[in-house]
Amino acid sequence: MGGIAGPRLVAAVAEAGGAGIVGLYKHPPQEITALIAETAGLTGRAFGINLVPEVVSEAVLVDQVRAVLAAPAETPPFVSFYGLPPRAAITPARDVGREVIVQIGSVFDAVEAVNRGATQLIIQGHEAGGHHLSRRPMADLVAALVERLPAVPVIAAGGISSGEAAAAAAAAGADAVLAGTAFICASESAAHDVYRAKVMAACSADTVVSDRFEIGWPGRPHRVLRNAVTEAAVPPEPAFIGRTVLFGRPYPVPRGSAAVPTIHSSGRIEEMALYCGTGCDAVTRIEPAAAIVARLATGFAAGRNVSATDPTVTAAPVTPVTARAG
């Protein structure tokens, strides 16, 4: 859901005490530099940059990492990866003292990520919206990972859109939570209005794990809201159904594209990839990111039986709320 977690949302989360993460895709270095500069201009607090190893070559990924490391910022961003990155992409960040957070979906991959240099881990359960790394429930994975790697900070992801869900993650042993769907309807989110409305009207049963939105990101199952594309008996033809604009340049959006509809998208939004986790039941209104952070942080603190202002809860980048709304 990288397109909706832009500088405004990330900065708002950071200002509220969370650790917002700018979601990237195949962005070239100059665009990465621009996004970091824009975000840093809105907040002096910690934020991160998320990269996706499986959609680019190793050489391109390393170039992206170097662009993150070279970008000037008052608080240098930490680096996160969706999926297991090669050691060559982790080493440059570790060499300059940056935190490296790797999102994985199994204990096996978690151990390998740490062996390659990861300093923190995000474990994703099958409740998550967007692309999937696991078929197991979040709480089970957290408990297994905490037992296997007790010295490594563990961030729970998947279905965490309410204070109660954050509390459950904390009770399972998580050191922080990663929230995505919870922030789709944040005031600062770049999600398209049609997308927001459908999320606010949805319940968990309206989501489905599909393989229908693979153009641009093949081979990775994804949880989305049910629509005409997911419910068709056979995959619909990949005709162009709209367009979007990135860095001032227009791009056509074919049916089946992995692209998330943003405020810069137009066309048949309801047929696009409406990424959404099972926690959507708790997303019922548009509200500031700060309110969402506060609710999740309070729930997380309750699950750990500490105050929401306890420094062990709020120290970035391991925070009670790490927002990667897409």
Give the integer Cα–Cα distance in Å for 178 and 174: 10
Grouping H, G, I as helix, E, B as strand and the rest as coil, residue 180 is coil
Query: Is omega for the bond preceding 320 within 30 degrees of 0, making it cis?
Result: no
pLDDT score of 316: 40
Region for 313 from its dihedrals, namely left if φ exceeds 0, alpha if ψ lies in -120 to 50, beta otherwise = alpha
**pLDDT tens-digit profile, the chain (326 residues):** 678 999 999 999 999 999 999 999 999 999 999 999 999 999 999 999 999 999 999 999 999 999 999 998 888 899 999 999 999 999 999 999 999 999 999 999 999 999 999 999 999 999 999 999 999 999 999 999 999 999 999 999 999 999 999 999 999 999 999 999 999 999 999 999 999 999 999 999 999 999 999 999 999 999 999 999 999 999 888 899 999 998 889 999 999 999 999 999 999 999 999 999 999 999 999 999 999 999 999 999 999 886 555 543 433 444 445 555 44
How far apart are alpha carbons 217 and 83 in whole angstroms? 13
pLDDT at 304: 87
Does pTM surpass 0.85? yes
Locate the domains of the chain by residue range: 2-187+284-323, 193-279
**In what helix (H) or strand (E) does residue 287 lie, and over which residues does it extend?**
none
What pLDDT is stored for residue 74 in this prediction? 82
Q: Determine what percent of the chain falls in helix, strand and coil, rounding each to the nearest 5.
A: 40, 20, 40
pLDDT at residue 317, as a whole number = 42
The CATH superfamily holding the domain 2-187+284-323 is: Aldolase class I (3.20.20.70)
Which SS3 state, helix, strand or coil, does residue 323 take?
strand
- Any alpha helices (H) in the chain, and if so which ranges? 7-15, 29-40, 58-70, 87-95, 107-116, 138-148, 163-171, 193-201, 228-231, 289-304, 311-314
